Structure 1
Amino acid sequence: MTDPFLLSMALIVFLSIAGLSVGLAMMCGSFLYLIMKGYDPSIASEQLLQGLYNGYTLLAIPLFILAADIMNIGSLADRLLRFCQALVGRFRGGLGHVNVVSSVIFSGMSGSAVADAVGMGKIIIGLMTRDGKYTASYAAAITAATATIGPIIPPSIPMVLYALVSDQSVGFLFAAGLAPGLLMALVMAVMNYIIARKRGFPTDEAVPMSELPRITMQAFPALMLPVILLGGIYSGIVTPTEAAAVAAAYALTISVILYRSVSFRAFWETLSSGARSAGSIGVLIAGSITFNYVITREDVPNALATWLGSMDLGPTGFLVMVNILILLLGCVLEGGAILLIVVPILIPAVQAMGIDLIHFGVIAVVNSMLGLITPPYGLLLFITANITKQPLGAIVRDIWPFILALLFALGIITFIPDFVLFLPRLLGYQG
């Protein structure tokens, strides 16, 4: 007789390849398993309710999505880009550096790689390709690559998802992502400079230093959002969930009242698109909670931990293997699916190896974000290809140097835990 677990896995893979969302595919596979095992299918609903009962931190996800969408429809993105141009546009490959710096700043507001690529990406790609300064494929490639910073520098939607499956502090995870995010920005800026010199990309028109204070003041309300957000979390004034609500309210307030750049129609469309995005993530979470029950019933995590223990890999060898595994899965799976399906299976082995769960969380999230720019799935590749109307192959050719730079950063993040954990420890983390 066919094994119910293998059959449920096969159904999930088949439905996902056929175009059904991964969340719904996991639900279908889970129901098939329950029926074949003779369990009451209502167990799936029970597991779902229990999984969400204490998951109030998940409320941060739709609120961060809303905050990012509001910033994209207002003039915040334009003001931030002008500030970045004044800051780094004068260097070789200037608009490439603007792309990197703007992603760093925007990542402190949105927590989403897709929001960064769709919002700031559209504007910066237009600037880079104007008058043929940069090739459209290169503009698309660096925009996709820098967007991966969004979920690493806090706030971060993937970090919230990891906190759900690992029972770790969202605040400490946010803190742990700051240094790795800045490292990713640094290696991409260096790579952009090397490519710009090799291919003769121009510097941007230098903004007079006398103009910098005025440009900074115009962008100042937007620049204050990360300060308010993270300051509120680490001072203990607000929880990460409450901080997400503050971010959305602040973005709406300065866009409507201060900048007067958001119409009611645009706001309504933002609410609608935000609800759709949050809904798709909700379906993924629901499917993963249901499928995690199946995985638990089959004792997959303990079996994996025992198997890995028998291989005598040690913590370093284990992390190398995990990096390879998640990078390969990222080529065909969406990052959220990896964090909600694959990572929970690995956590018992991580604990058995004595690896810090906050450190491991950052490794897992960075790996998952790299999957957004690796073919053939690479969601950010498709987004930037759609913006620039460039063939996917041309973008892939230009993005490989940035993937190599990010792999170098991933190596530092993986093998130097103190680099990731020093800031959380300053804030009181005992790990």
Structure 2
Amino acid sequence: MTDPFTLSMLLIVALALSGLSVGIAMMCGSFLYLILMDMRFPRGFDPSITTEQLLQGLYNGYTLLAIPLFILAADIMNVGSLADRLLRFCQALVGRFRGGLGHVNVVSSVIFSGMSGSAVADAVGMGKIVINLMTRDGRYTPAYAAAITAATATVGPIIPPSIPMVLYALVSDQSIGYLFAAGLLPGLLMAAMMALTNFLIARRRGFPVDEAVPLRELPRATFEAFPALMLPVILLGGIYGGVMTPTEAAAVAAAYALTISVVFYRSVSFDAFWAALKAGSRSTGAIGVLIAGSITFNYVITREDIPNALAGFLAGFDLGPTGFLIPVNLLLLALGCVLEGGAIILIVLPILLPTAQALGVDLVHFGVITVVNAMIGLVTPPYGLLLFITANITNQPVGRIIAEIWPFILALFAALAAITFLPDFVLWLPRLLGYTG
């Protein structure tokens, strides 16, 4: 009789390739495993324990509440005028340099990332506006505008707050606050690398120098964007000041975004707010199904003792932390070409985490490496969700966007190498805040 685990894996792969949600595919594969194990060991196996595992995983996952709240905050900002005001502020700040609108794209992604925690929200919200600005009057090709928008959106979940970091905290039992802190400098490094890439391309192609916004208008642009700019300050100050937990900070983010959009900017109608609620519910539902499927499948992985088997296999190669991280990076980058980032974090990491810990890899550092890999996967073909989103915005063939995005992918690879081999750089801020790892 064929091994139940092998059959369950084949079913998961087949269902996922057929277009079914990865979360539902994992549930189906896990249920098949449970049925086959119950048939093989009718008296020594209790399949009902998985129901208990699932309910406990969801009931005890208090931090999971942060995910729908951060999603709601991002959707409210997208339906309001926050993105427009932030963009005007960024244009006044860096639009005067060669390739200025490309730099505006980078800086706006950095600022918006401190509010949404989602790469998709960045690409759909700020990305749609800045692409229209870049392609107006033919100053930039639509494919280049789409490529730099997709690339810069990867910064969103690295700079806190971050939805993928919350998922990583769920599977690794690490502090969300320290994970958020660890992502700040790597996120800024990624943004700097993409700004440098845009500068070099702008010089080589002779991109125009945009008309500079007079410096006397910078205070006005700053004042108009100030309420929105204060959101990351309130969130991070509250978390690291001990005033609120990350989950409470997510609730504050949603409430603050709604308040300034309705009261201060007066840019959100009831219909727009209702649309944001529906969009947030759909996104939350999709992530919830993925989490439920991963909790069920993780029980299967644990019962098969796969993490310990992998640790024993790698122990034979006498790998140190660096020797372990190199093949892990290659594995995660390869998986990112075909899997969504949340699936990588929830499915693959439970297998790798025990080995990483046994080899002395700091798990907060490992979390940043994992999330960066997952975000690079959003812009690598053939899956590349951000490629399809920006292609839809610009009505460009995905192949044309891929041809333009390779320099930015190489820049992200360089940033990933620095993040991997310089753990002190990643952990400097968490240690400053009291982290002892």
**TM surpasses 0.5:** yes
Where in structure 2 are the equivalents of 1:10-49 lying within 5 Å?
Answer: 10-38=10-38, 39-49=45-55
Where in structure 2 are the equivalents of 1:192-211 lying within 5 Å?
Answer: 192-211=198-217
Distance 1:188 1:294 in 2: 41
Distance 1:378 1:46 in 2: 35
Q: 1:381 aligns with which of 387, 399, 415?
A: 387
- 1:202: how far off? 1.1
Where in structure 2 are the equivalents of 1:128-277 lying within 5 Å?
Answer: 128-277=134-283
Per mean C-alpha deviation after superposition, the further-off stretch among 48-57 and 220-229 is 48-57
Aligned to 2:42: none
1:5 paired with 2:11, answer: no
Q: 2:409 aligns with which of 403, 408, 413?
A: 403
Runs of 4+ in 1 over 6 A off after TM superposition: none
Q: 2:119 aligns with which of 91, 113, 120?
A: 113
Once the two structures are superposed, residues 296-341 of structure 1 have per-residue CA deviations (whole angstroms, 9 ceiling, x without a partner) of: 0000000001111111222111100000000000000000000000
Alpha carbons 1:31, 1:44 under 8 Å: kept: no
1:419 paired with 2:425, answer: yes
Q: Percent of aligned pairs with the same residue?
A: 80
Aligned to 1:124: 130
Distance 1:173 1:205 in 2: 40
TM-score normalised to structure 1 length: 0.99
Alpha carbons 2:26, 2:296 under 8 Å: kept: yes
Aligned Cα root-mean-square deviation (Å)? 0.6
Alpha carbons 2:167, 2:345 under 8 Å: kept: yes
The one-letter amino acid paired with 1:127 is L
The alignment partner of 2:243 has SS state of: coil
- 1:200: how far off? 1.2
Distance 2:288 2:64 in 1: 9
The one-letter amino acid paired with 1:57 is T
Distance 2:316 2:177 in 1: 35
Alpha carbons 2:319, 2:359 under 8 Å: kept: no
Aligned to 1:315: 321
- 1:52: how far off? 1.7
Where in structure 2 are the equivalents of 1:269-288 lying within 5 Å?
Answer: 269-288=275-294
Q: 1:347 aligns with which of 317, 336, 353?
A: 353
Distance 1:86 1:174 in 2: 29
Aligned to 2:41: none
The one-letter amino acid paired with 1:138 is Y
How many residues align? The count is 431
Unaligned runs of 5+ in 1: none
Distance 2:209 2:81 in 1: 25
Unaligned runs of 5+ in 2: 39-44
The one-letter amino acid paired with 2:378 is L
Q: 2:67 aligns with which of 61, 64, 82?
A: 61
The one-letter amino acid paired with 1:266 is A
Distance 1:202 1:47 in 2: 58
Once the two structures are superposed, residues 30-83 of structure 1 have per-residue CA deviations (whole angstroms, 9 ceiling, x without a partner) of: 000000001444332211012122210000000000000000110100000000
1:289 paired with 2:295, answer: yes
Distance 2:193 2:209 in 1: 19
The alignment partner of 2:161 has SS state of: coil
TM-score normalised to structure 2 length: 0.98
- 1:205: how far off? 1.4
1:300 paired with 2:328, answer: no
Distance 1:188 1:240 in 2: 29
The alignment partner of 2:378 has SS state of: helix
